[in-house]
Chains A and B, each alone.
Chain A
Amino acid sequence: MTHPLEARVAAYIAGRMPLAEGVVEVSGLERISGGASRETYRFVARWNEGGYARERRMILRRDPPASLIDTERRVEFEAYRAFHGSAVPVPQMLWLEESPEALGHPFFIAEELAGFEASPQTLFAGGYDAVLPQVAERKWTILGEIAKADPIALGLDKVMAPPPLTSCWSRELDHWEALIDKDQAEPLPITRAAIRWLRAHPPPPAQKLSVVHGDFRTGNFLYDAAGEIHGVLDWEMAHLGDPLEDLAWSLQPIWTFGRGLAGGLVSQAEAAAIWARASGLAADPAALHWWILFNCVKGQGIWVGSAAAFNRGGNKAPIMVYPAWWLINAQDRAMLQVMGRL
């Protein structure tokens, strides 16, 4: 069965490959499950070049009609591009298209890192138990590498606004509180109490300005049977800020997957120690606590945002409902845990 997008994708790619001889063929295009903020498809492109037949597996990430989180695809594209070839494994970005003309919505195309797993359910089903410590070591080492990187040297300050070190926290809190104000469909007493506490007890200034992945968690990286990580994905919330923000997102209780461990993998102390070794930065417990609670608020902002996209009619896909139904109350409970109330 041929997917209706295949011909349009083939025409687009042909226009971007001046060395391709004759037609570019696209086949096997299929949507990958999940992807609440972008529609993600995999496909194979085939063409002739220099007299040889070429083939490459690719990924298409296209904006949906309305998203769980509204982000600029250029930011995501440039974040991937900045880390390609570094100690942070990411797929190679190929083309960014910000006009809706070619495929109806903006999109980008990247190489596919094929043959690896991303699913937390698979990771925790038992078959990977022996390598979970290795996954943890690689996961927080890579996050430490992201924290250690110089965003100015990477050129990311050109697409991401650099905040002063003293106001990384307030910029993020203002941003997510405003989104909750806009998107909440019902009062959120626990989230509001958390926001009041966060404003009354601000963290110290950031140790340095870092690239913040924004969604670095189990489920957003590709792993293999040996516990190696081959790709960090889903950079759509990337920005510049306090490196503790990313560490704290990876530690927030929602991502324990019911296993009582950071990311479902190791204790919070072990995860923070791996990150500190790799980044050369300190994970001050009080500051980290602030950022974990902040990330609970951010999580709630994302879940009510997905519900809002459904409620407003912009995106009626079931993936917009599932995070809201599954996680809004769980996120409240996570906040209670972090605030010592549960």
Chain B
Amino acid sequence: MNPKVPPVLYELAGLLMKNAAPDVPPPERASDLSLSALLLVVAAEMWDRGAAVLVEENRALRALLGEAGEDGDLRISALTVENERLRAGLIAAHAAAEAAGDTAREAAIWAELVASTERRRLSMAPV
């Protein structure tokens, strides 16, 4: 997720502390707290499946790119670094497949891209 979850949670913690003070104008407090609540809901939804999504996606991307290996470090930050490396590789592979007219490879890449958005989909998303 972009921005990353930890800096957002740190920021929300600071915002909650700020709004605990009695002199915050009520409309600003309402806006801060309602948006913070929505962000906490999103973070909660991604908490349980975040690492699983990245491991599954990294595995699929390595298969598409013909790479061997598995994720050793299962912290989300480490999985994300590897995911970003693999997704950059996928962009290059996709452009190369288009240039070569390799429709079978293009179809395989599109299938993974569709699967990727399904993995990352939020329950409250508009699409």
Contacts and interface: CB of A to CB of B under 8 A. Distances in A.
B91 A321 contact: no
Interface in A201-258: 253-258
Interface in A1-47: 1, 3, 30-34
Contacts of A34: 31
Contacts of B114: 336, 341-342
Given A31-B25, A318-B36, A332-B117, A254 B3 contact: no
A258 B27 contact: no
Nearest to B36: A318
Nearest to B86: A187
B91 A330 contact: no
Interface in B1-43: 1-3, 7-8, 11-12, 15, 23, 25-28, 30-32, 34-36, 38-39, 42
A32 B27 contact: yes
B121 interface: yes
Contacts of A171: none
A257 B35 contact: no
A105 B104 CA distance: 54
B3 A318 contact: no
Contact of A333 (B80, B88, B110, B127): B127
Contact of B42 (A186, A196, A307, A326): A326
B120 interface: yes
B100 interface: no
A252 to B, nearest CB: 10
A324 B124 contact: no
B87 A3 contact: no
A330 B35 contact: no
A165 B34 CA distance: 44
Given A318-B11, A332-B113, A332-B116, 10 more contacts: A1-B23, A33-B27, A33-B34, A187-B84, A258-B127, A319-B35, A322-B38, A330-B127, A331-B127, A342-B117
